[in-house]
Amino acid sequence: MSDLYLRLVNTPVGRTAAQSLGLPAPAPLKRLKRTDQPFIEGKVLIGAANGGKAIATLGSILGASAATLHHASESNRLADSSKAGNKARPLDLASDINQQFSALVFDATGLKGPADLRALYDFFHPTIKKLGSNARVLVIGQNPASCRKAPQAAAQGALEGFVRSVGKEIGKKGSTANLLWMAPGAEKQLDSSVRFFLSARSAYVSGQVVKVGKGNAAPATNPVAPLTGKVALVTGASRGIGAAISETLARDGATVIGLDIPPAMEELEKVTSAINGKALACDITDDKAPKLIADFIEEHFGGVDLVIHNAGITRDKTLGNMPEHFWDMTIAVNLTAEELIDEELAKRELMKENGRIVCISSISGIAGNFGQTNYSTAKCGVIGYVEAMARQLKNGITINAVAPGFIETRMTAAMPVTIREAGRRMNSLSQGGQPVDVAEAIAWYCSPASNGVNGNVVRVCGQSLIGK
């Protein structure tokens, strides 16, 4: 459904009215237009606190981009910024900066204690106002859980609060801020995440923290179609977010098995036929569903690389008024079915090496929601499942989750207008997301280069003002 308010406030008359009334004036988000689009263009400023471990890797990644790269200079606390490589030009942060940046990238892995946090101020204070619209802020830190000393853990943990606050300050321009917590020695695993968070693919992802571990060495892939040769199973694929996931994975080269309930087969076949995929009719709550799915995969493909647990339902009632079948069905579809399908695929060894499992949680699972005790319970259970499975999976298989916020779908279009408008504006970007925003995050998880991304829950919500 079209966001009429967003369109209105981006006209001269509407913008003036919004300013005079103190209303939000969100900027239209720039999303991916073509698959060969550079992940970042324009001018990018990179900096590092002294002792930074990721600066050379970041310089290498950005040096290979279409951007013009600068590094911070003339600051004692940022001296290691010069290690970004010879493609980065020095920029004196004490001088008048007459440039506009499409991204600010900072290596904070060298922070050893609270006093070192001053490096954040020295880098961002003179530059944050120089960000253009739809710009990116990306900070790389060290996972506090891996820090041996408390002061270092405090400094690294502080980055989360910093990034979330920056995201709220720059969101009105359609800009985002995110944090990568890198495990020691995981520099080589940064590539896919840096590219995602600096690109138009992450337009509706802000204020998020992603843990990047060592993982297996990333194989060489076609950057335009990195999922070539992969087989993907997408549940709930007939429309909305599921259809967008199917289309995005197919765009990136995967062969998609779209699954949905039998009554949705007509819509499902339209989706799968358009992407040369296969349609499978199945009620995932049926006792025979895991075996049926596994049999289909084994017969047609011999195995599966990517499993996307997208199918979900809501059955809303306050707890005291909720019939038991509302509770049972919501838990069965949104949580139990995922576990049983994964167990069957694992038991029959149909999940291929370096495979990917992606589950769909929800903001409701993080913050809770009135009248959704069943749904919130299930979606929070998904998070617990992902975190536990991430520690158990072997053979390079990873599992992660996305937690969508307000996404423009048929369901949200049917909401009363006041609730719909409130949902759209209650995030730092002051607008709803699109199904493709969820799909792009899943495609990043599924990338062969994302081996180090495991056990994460990323909110695709424009940095919702509720929840963590």
Residues marked as catalytic = 375
Residue 41 and residue 66 in contact, taking contact as beta carbons nearer than 8 Å: yes
Answer whether 137's CB lies under 8 Å from 163's CB: yes
Helix, strand or coil, per DSSP, at residue 175: coil
DSSP string spanning 301-335? TSSEEEEEE---------GGG--HHHHHHHHIIII
Task: Kindly provide the b/e burial profile for residues 338-362, where b requires at least 16 CB atoms within 10 angstroms of the residue's own CB.
Answer: bbbbbebbbeeebbbebbbbbbbbb
Q: What count of Cα atoms within 13 Å lies in the side-chain half-sphere of residue 394?
A: 2
**Quick check: helix, strand or coil at residue 69?**
strand
φ, ψ for residue 71, nearest 5 deg: -125, 150
- Which residues partner with 304 through β-bridges? 351
Q: In angstroms, how far apart are the furthest CA atoms of the chain?
A: 68
Alpha carbon 338 to its chain centroid, in Å, reads 20
Closest listed residue to residue 357, CA positions, set 385, 334, 336: 385
3-state SS, 359-391, equals EECCHHHHHCCCCCHHHHHHHHHHHHHHHHHHH
**Which amino acid makes up residue 329?**
M
Task: Specify whether the CB–CB gap between 466 and 459 falls below 8 A.
Answer: no
Listed residue (325, 298, 424, 315) closest to 376, CA to CA: 315
Which residue, among 258, 462, 232, has the nearest Cα to 358 in the 3D structure? Answer: 232
Residues 260, 242 contacting (CB under 8 angstroms):
yes
DSSP class of 66:
S
Strands 231-235 and 304-309: parallel
**Which residue, 30, 99, 39, is CA-closest to 63?**
39
From the centroid of its chain, how far is CA 198? 12
Cα separation, 428 vs 426, in Å, equals 7
Helix 373-392 / helix 324-331 crossing angle, nearest 10 deg: 30
